[in-house]
Amino acid sequence: MIKNWDKMKIYDLSQPTSILTPPWPTYEPLQVKFFKRLAPNGANGMLITTSNHVGTHLDGPMHFDTSGRDIASLEMSKLMGPGVVVDLSDIAEDFSIYTPQDIMDRVEVKKGDILYINTGYHKYGWDQPEADERRYMLRHPGPSMDFVDWVKEMEIKHLAVDCGSADHPMNTKIRDWEPKEAEVCDAYMREKYGKGLDEIYHWPDTYQAMHIQVFVRPWECIHAENIGGEIDKVLNKRLILGTIPWKFRDGESAFCRCIAIDEEE
């Protein structure tokens, strides 16, 4: 794909991580402290306490499958390779639903691709001028239920999304934790799609389907969440994509960097 490596451009599609980065709701946030400052050997050192679901992170198979592989077991060929970044921001609004057809109308997805999805909601990330944690975590767009079967059929290596979850927020436990948001979502869906929230995402059979139904083998279609960074520079393009976590043995998920590699124009 890259013909002229001297013109290679690497884009960072990661969200910065700090003590201000919100974790996924109810998860433990990042805590940092120095355990020494320039003494006795002139070095600074830090300790961190955190969940694995803060900022840009990769949900591993073990996150929803106790017999699944750990982060360290994932091949680099699964984490990096050809793929596309699709821009759905033109149809995205609070609680909206995107479909496989919405993806295919904008980019050519090939079997075995890596797929990064830009809903546009990274603009509400904590580090952005329009930061809005509730919109970012509780109201971002999410996939239709046929999207689950589509990613299996396409043998997508892994996904990444620029918002709080690869599932619709109201197809996660947030639906129970935020009943007023669920009421607003239900009214929106009835007007927009002609069906209520429970008809579109009927529990328990569809609950958190983008985690539970696709993380297991043989599909093992895991995903990164909270991407952002320079994503607006690589929209609707075929590139080399990479989601690079630390080699975390026995890890259910891990912090990561997401990158896109392209030739300069």
- Residue 53 belongs to a domain: no
The pTM of the whole model exceeds 0.75: yes
pLDDT of residue 265: 66
- Residue 29 belongs to a domain: no
Percentages of the chain per state (helix, strand, coil), in multiples of 5: 25, 25, 45
From CA 210, how far away is CA 230, in angstroms rounded? 25
Q: What's the rounded mean pLDDT across residues 62-83?
A: 97
Q: What digits encode the pLDDT tens for the residues 33-70?
A: 999 999 888 999 999 999 999 999 999 999 999 999 99
User: Is residue 5 predicted with pLDDT exceeding 90?
Assistant: no
- Residue 38 belongs to a domain: no
Average pLDDT over all residues of the chain: 96
From CA 168, how far away is CA 98, in angstroms rounded? 10
Where helices occur in 20-127 by DSSP H, the ranges are 76-79, 100-104
Torsion sign, CA atoms 231, 125, 189, 176: positive
Q: What is the CATH number of the domain that holds 139?
A: 3.50.30.50
Q: What's the rounded mean pLDDT across residues 208-213?
A: 98
- Residue 27 belongs to a domain: no
Q: What digits encode the pLDDT tens for the residues 9-34?
A: 999 999 999 999 999 999 999 999 99
From CA 243, how far away is CA 78, in angstroms rounded? 9
What token pair was written down for 42? Answer: 């002139």
User: Is residue 231 predicted with pLDDT exceeding 80?
Assistant: yes
User: Is residue 219 predicted with pLDDT exceeding 80?
Assistant: yes
As for how many domains the chain has, the answer is 1
Task: Write the CB contacts of 200 (distance below 8 Å, at least 6 apart in sequence).
Answer: 97, 145, 189, 193
- Residue 158 belongs to a domain: yes
Burial of 113 (0-12, 13-18, 19+ CB in 10 A): buried
CA 141-55-122 angle, to 5 degrees, is 40
Residue 6 or residue 82, greater confidence:
82
- Residue 23 belongs to a domain: no
Q: What digits encode the pLDDT tens for the residues 86-140?
A: 999 999 999 999 999 999 999 999 999 999 999 999 999 999 999 999 999 999 9
DSSP codes, 156-168: -SEEEESSS-SS-
From CA 13, how far away is CA 196, in angstroms rounded? 34
pLDDT of residue 234: 97
Domain holding 174, by residue range, is 5-15+58-263
User: Is residue 2 predicted with pLDDT exceeding 70?
Assistant: no
- Residue 52 belongs to a domain: no
pLDDT of residue 1: 61
Q: Which helix (H) or strand (E) holds 13?
A: none
- Residue 21 belongs to a domain: no
Backbone angles phi and psi of 62, in degrees to 5: -70, -15
pLDDT of residue 6: 76
DSSP 23: B
DSSP 92: -
User: Is residue 76 predicted with pLDDT exceeding 90?
Assistant: yes
DSSP codes, 199-228: HHS-TTTTTTHHHHTTSSTTT--EEEESB-
